[in-house]
């Protein structure tokens, strides 16, 4: 926590209000304060009481502590480049809050977070790939860092990226907003995946965010992870290539396709391969084309393929792990928060807030019963 004066506090209140797209009048109405009082608080000429600050935080939708904590350098840089007249997207605001939550837990020394594993990465990140070949190479490097073999399917991508300090959360924020975003922390990083997408797209989005994390992009919000966006930006196209190469390693895809196509038609082969590597048909079709396995017509046909329940039964396929579905919290973060409850460093209520109610209060640990003689440890 930083010691701040009325001017700094007022400025932070103003920034938070503007990001919430509220006028001073609207904030005043929500807090039973006159607009002129809000104006004076934001300008630093009127002190704000603790109760008023609590009401202001609730009205804006942030925690009161955020007004006192020094913001992440990546967050400052991002908002500075946007300008205060730019309203953050929904995913932007959620991502900033998640970053604050992780930094809070990290500040309490919880090793369960695993963000120290970010030390595996070079300072300043890896160079941004300039060619397709460099994207492929970075994907192989990422697999090696995550202790994965060069050719195995990534069963639990969320767990794998956590192994190098990237904590991936998910939230359904609707189809009309961004697909994903990432912010670098002082150590490690946080990604937020829009779970309104199907599982294959969610995994592709996280693989894409891993690319941004590895090249140390301070703050990114990706509105569309695949499709036209990749063609519009040379840099994004290289990150897209990295994501496909990570999920669909070249040698494994070529060998698997060759084996499956000998006994299956093209549609069945695509469904089997997509299920094995847990990718959507659009991603698979693009990957098969860029590896020279299929031509443009076959690519278009595979892209239109839809896997049915009957396909799953007839081909004896496994139902993919519902990764990053609905609201999800990475396991290392959950373990760290539960550890804080167990050692009585945060309340159950605070834990439920941090965990976004992904577990029930009854499942949280109960503080241990203290022995009578322990009182002396507090007074000695």
3-state secondary structure of 357: coil
Token output for 119: 């030390």
> Of 289, 314, 339, at which residue does a domain stop?
314
> Does residue 277 share a domain with residue 296?
yes
pLDDT at 379: 46
Token output for 269: 């082969």
> Of 297, 314, 331, at which residue does a domain stop?
314
Q: How far apart are CA 101 and CA 104, in angstroms?
A: 5
> Does residue 13 share a domain with residue 59?
yes
> Does residue 369 share a domain with residue 262?
no
> Does residue 303 share a domain with residue 368?
no
Print the domain residue range for 57. Answer: 1-70
How far from chain centre, in Å, is Cα 254?
A: 31
Q: How far apart are CA 62 and CA 85, in angstroms?
A: 19
pLDDT at 252: 95
pLDDT at 81: 55
Largest CA distance in the chain: 80
> Does residue 98 share a domain with residue 183?
yes
Residue with tokens 């991936």: 168
The secondary element (H helix, E strand) that includes residue 181 is: strand 180-184
pLDDT at 243: 96
> Does residue 36 share a domain with residue 14?
yes
> Of 70, 88, 109, at which residue does a domain stop?
70
Q: How far apart are CA 213 and CA 350, in angstroms?
A: 29
Rounded alpha-carbon distances, angstroms, from residue 309 to 48, 60, 313, 314: 59, 45, 6, 9
> Does residue 295 share a domain with residue 209?
no
> Does residue 186 share a domain with residue 96?
yes
CATH number of the domain bearing residue 28: 1.10.260.40
| pLDDT tens track, the chain, 380 positions | 456 788 888 888 887 787 777 889 999 999 899 989 999 998 888 888 888 888 888 888 777 777 876 666 655 555 555 554 444 567 877 888 898 889 889 988 888 999 999 999 999 899 999 999 999 999 999 999 999 999 999 999 999 999 999 999 999 988 888 899 999 998 999 999 999 999 999 999 999 999 999 999 888 888 878 754 444 477 888 999 999 999 999 999 999 999 999 998 999 999 999 999 999 999 999 999 999 999 999 999 999 999 888 988 888 888 777 899 999 999 999 999 999 998 888 888 889 989 988 988 888 887 666 566 555 554 44
pLDDT at 372: 64
> Does residue 195 share a domain with residue 99?
yes
pLDDT at 377: 52
Torsions phi, psi of 198, nearest 5? -75, 165
pLDDT at 205: 94
What would the DSSP string read from start to end of 47-70? ---HHHHHHHHHHHTS-GGGGTSP
> Does residue 235 share a domain with residue 290?
no
Q: How far apart are CA 223 and CA 208, in angstroms?
A: 12
Q: How far apart are CA 170 and CA 168, in angstroms?
A: 7
> Does residue 83 share a domain with residue 213?
yes
Q: How far apart are CA 336 and CA 111, in angstroms?
A: 7
pLDDT at 85: 44
Based on the structure, what is the number of domains in the chain?
3
> Does residue 59 share a domain with residue 175?
no
pLDDT at 312: 87
Torsions phi, psi of 375, nearest 5? -60, -30
């Amino acid at each position: 926590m930083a010691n701040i004066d009325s001017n700094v506090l007022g400025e932070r209140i103003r920034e938070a209000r503007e990001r919430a797209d509220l006028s001073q009048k609207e904030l005043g109405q929500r807090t039973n304060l006159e607009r002129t009082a809000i104006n004076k608080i934001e300008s630093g000429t009127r002190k704000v009481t603790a109760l008023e600050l609590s009401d202001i935080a609730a009205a804006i939708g942030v925690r009161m502590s955020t007004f006192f904590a020094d913001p992440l350098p990546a967050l400052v840089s991002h908002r500075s480049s946007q300008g205060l007249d730019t309203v953050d997207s929904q995913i932007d605001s959620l991502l900033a809050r998640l970053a604050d939550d992780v930094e809070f837990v990290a500040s309490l020394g919880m090793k369960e977070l695993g963000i120290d594993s970010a030390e595996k990465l070079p300072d300043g990140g890896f160079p941004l790939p300039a060619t397709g070949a460099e994207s492929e190479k970075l994907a192989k490097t990422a697999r090696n860092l995550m202790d994965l073999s060069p050719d195995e399917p990534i069963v639990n991508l969320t767990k794998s990226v956590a192994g190098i300090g990237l904590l991936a959360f998910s939230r359904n924020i609707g189809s009309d907003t961004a697909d994903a975003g990432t912010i670098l922390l002082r150590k490690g990083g946080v990604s937020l995946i829009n779970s309104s997408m199907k599982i294959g797209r969610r995994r592709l989005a996280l693989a894409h965010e891993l690319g941004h994390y590895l090249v140390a992009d301070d703050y990114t919000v990706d509105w569309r992870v695949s499709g036209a966006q990749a063609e519009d930006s040379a840099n994004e196209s290289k990150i897209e290539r990295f994501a496909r190469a990570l999920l669909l390693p070249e040698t494994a895809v070529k060998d698997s396709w060759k084996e499956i196509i000998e006994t299956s038609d093209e549609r069945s082969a695509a469904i089997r391969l997509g299920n094995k590597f847990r990718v959507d048909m659009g991603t698979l079709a693009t990957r098969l084309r860029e590896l020279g396995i299929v031509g443009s017509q076959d690519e278009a046909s595979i892209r239109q393929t839809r896997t049915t329940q009957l396909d799953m039964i007839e081909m004896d396929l496994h139902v993919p792990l519902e990764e990053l579905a609905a609201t999800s919290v990475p396991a290392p973060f959950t373990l760290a928060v539960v550890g804080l409850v167990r050692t009585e460093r945060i309340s159950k209520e605070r834990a439920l807030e941090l965990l976004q109610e992904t577990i029930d209060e009854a499942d949280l640990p109960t503080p241990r019963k203290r022995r009578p003689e322990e009182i002396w440890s507090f007074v000695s």
